[in-house]
Amino acid sequence: GAVVSQHPSRVICKSGTSVKIECRSLDFQATTMFWYRQFPKQSLMLMATSNEGSKATYEQGVEKDKFLINHASLTLSTLTVTSAHPEDSSFYICSATGTGGTTNEKLFFGSGTQLSVL
Amino acid sequence: SQQGEEDPQALSIQEGENATMNCSYKTSINNLQWYRQNSGRGLVHLILIRSNEREKHSGRLRVTLDTSKKSSSLLITASRAADTASYFCATDGGSNYKLTFGKGTLLTVNP
């Protein structure tokens, strides 16, 4: 099946620094990628939707200047948490969907990134 | 308001028993999907059921959909300890790809 690779799996950073998380589709073209945030024992909250070559669409309440999303190619999307603060600590998950076959019927998820801001 | 509310929030059973999880949603859908998440990991797609389908099977999984009640159920038969995970339903709200996830059911299967 389709594979989505997300890196890093875990990152610890100091408050005020920026962290970049990468999401790659390894064996299909991801026309659309989604970024989610998940707090412990809670559901996934959609942060933004990104389409290759265009600006991301952010959900209400998500600061686009804080969570920078770039979807420069059909296989790579990045989420940069700028000037991270402890309240940004969370589990971030990307997902992707493609075109054709079964890749456009469901989402393929990365393994997630646990961000801890000290 | 959030779509996809699962119940129970937590379910603990013995190996070999069946596990049933329910999901309710609020708006019209094209399809409903169930995903599984192991602790600290990403989600894995289990099964998709379309709005014009009532029941679907995949291995030990059985999903039902009642669009009149806006509800779905996921049945895992003959559960195994390896089935221990959180299970989420997700609806598309009539818009392709943009899924809304429920709060999930934490299933614990005791050996």
Is the model's pLDDT at B105 over the cut of 50? yes
Partners of B2 on chain A (C-beta within 8 Å) are: 43
For tokens 């019927």, name the residue.
A105
Q: What is the pLDDT of residues A42-98, one digit of tens each?
A: 889 999 998 887 889 999 999 999 999 998 888 999 999 999 999 999 999 999 887
Collapsing DSSP to helix, strand or coil, A101 comes out as helix
pLDDT score at A62: 95
Is residue B5 pLDDT above 80, yes or no?
no
State residue A80's pLDDT score.
97
Is A7 near chain B, with CB under 8 Å?
A: no
Question: Could you report the per-residue pLDDT of B53-99, keeping only the tens digit for each?
Answer: 999 999 999 999 999 999 999 999 999 999 999 999 998 876 656 78
Tokens of A3: 């594979």
Per-residue DSSP letters for chain B?
--S-EEE-SEEEEETTS-EEEEEE--S--SEEEEEEE-TTS-EEEEEEEETT-SEEEETTEEEEEETTTTEEEEEE-S--GGG-EEEEEEE-TTSSS--EE---EEEEEE-
Q: Do B43 and A93 touch (CB under 8 A)?
A: yes
What is the bridge-based pairing of β-strands B31-37 and B43-50? antiparallel
Mean pLDDT of B8-14: 93
Q: Which of A105, A107, A111 sits opposite B41 (nearest CB)?
A: A111
A10-41 pLDDT tens trace: 999 999 999 999 999 998 888 889 999 998 88
For residue B1, pLDDT beyond 50: no
Q: Which residues of B touch A108 (CB under 8 A)?
A: 45
- Can you read off the two tokens belonging to residue A102? 């079964």
Q: Answer whether A48's CB lies under 8 Å from A67's CB.
A: yes
Do A95 and B43 count as a contact with CB atoms less than 8 A apart? yes
With 0-12 / 13-18 / 19 or more C-beta atoms within 10 angstroms meaning exposed / middle / buried, residue A72 is exposed
Which of A32, A42, A109 lies closest to B43 in CB terms? A109
Nearest one of B26, B19, B72, B79 to B48, comparing CA atoms? B72
pLDDT at A14: 96
